Amino acid sequence: MCMAFFAAEAVGAMALGQQAAAAVPGANPDIALDSVWDFVVRGGPTIVAIGVCSLIALTVIVERLILLRRGSVLPRRFLTSLQAVASDRDKALQLCESDGSPVASVLREVIKHRGQSPEAVEQAVRSAGSRVIVRLRHRLRLLSALPQVSTMLGLLGTIFGMIKTFQAVAVSGQALGKTEMLARGIFEAWTSTAAGLLVAIPVLIVYHVLMGRVDAVAMELDRVASEWLEGDAGFMTSPQAQSPEPVVALRSAQIPAPIPGIAAVAAG
């Protein structure tokens, strides 16, 4: 995605440069950007580092998009199978442990602490939700740093290019042609800044999209866990300690909005 955006914008910049060069009589064809390779060469060594940042960003984005799919977070087959064995604690735990999805990690804690106090269940689910959110946010901090790194690398390349240009102009013994030399150096130096921004802008946009997806997934996990707790209310008390209170009373007294913590962790 980022590389495609970079290539498209680079091609657009080259087209504009070619149009401008064609409109100027006697323009020097040596400084024209005829290909993406020319764009890379004109930018200097920092273009390579910016390209590495783009590849890292592309890898993280694809990996997170796959992981944050609804089918990966809330697999329908797993939820259906778990409903079928909900009354058997051992089979339900075994099913949750064999499934690596985030919702399985949360529901495993619900089933494991079945029969304990509502506070213990709530605390266990909050802890599981925190671990799941950390796992869903894995590598997103790295992704958030890449736009700043790409922009700084672009500016660094521009500064190096300007230093090189002014040095070449200063040591030049020619009285004529210094203006053209300076213009060429500035033209090549700013190519690095453009490359950094072409990588930084789409990566920053995708980062916020992924963070919004994490928040949405946290809300879905919160909803599923709450619905499971309500449906599991009949198993919340062990047979030895079960009171004669009806299930409705257990729902109202023992399950007071159990999982606001998952969404709260994501929002924090």
Of 229, 225, 213, 211, residue with least CA distance to 262: 225
Task: Identify the DSSP state of 29.
Answer: G
Average pLDDT (196-202) is 94
17, amino acid identity? G
pLDDT at 196: 92
Higher pLDDT, 5 or 99: 99
Residue (of 216, 204, 202, 198) closest to 263 by Cα position: 216
Tell if the pTM clears 0.75, that is, is over it.
no
Of 132 and 9, the one with more pLDDT: 132
pLDDT of residue 21: 44
d(CA 221, CA 131): 12
Mean pLDDT of 245-250: 31
Query: Predicted confidence band at 261 (pLDDT cuts at 50, 70, 90)?
Result: low
| Cβ-contact 150, 54 below 8 angstroms | yes
Mean pLDDT for the stretch of residues 101-113: 86
Which of 166, 205, 198 shows the shortest CA–CA distance to 185? 166
- Report which of residues 29 and 194 the model is more confident about: 194
Residue whose C-alpha is closest to residue 139's, from 215, 58, 52, 48: 58
Instruction: Calculate the average pLDDT of the chain.
Output: 75
Which pLDDT value is given to residue 244?
Answer: 35
How far apart are the C-alpha atoms of 28 and 242, rounded to whole Å? 89
Characterise 177 by phi-psi region: left (phi > 0), alpha (psi -120 to 50), beta (else): left
Q: Exposed, middle or buried by CB within 10 Å (0-12, 13-18, 19+), for 162?
A: middle
Query: What pLDDT, on a 0 to 100 scale, did the predictor assign at position 54?
Result: 94
User: Which pLDDT score is estimated for 25?
Assistant: 45
pLDDT in tens, 160-181: 888 888 887 777 766 556 677 7
Q: Is the dihedral of CA 196, 202, 208, 213 positive or negative?
A: negative
Q: How confident is the model at residue 154 (pLDDT cuts 50, 70, 90)?
A: very high
pLDDT single digits (tens) 61-90: 999 999 888 888 888 888 888 888 888 888
Of the chain, the percentage scoring pLDDT greater than 70 comes to 68
Per-residue pLDDT, 155: 92
Where along the chain do its domains lie?
1-235+243-255
From residue 32, how far is each of 69, 83, 183, 231 by CA, in Å? 44, 66, 13, 69
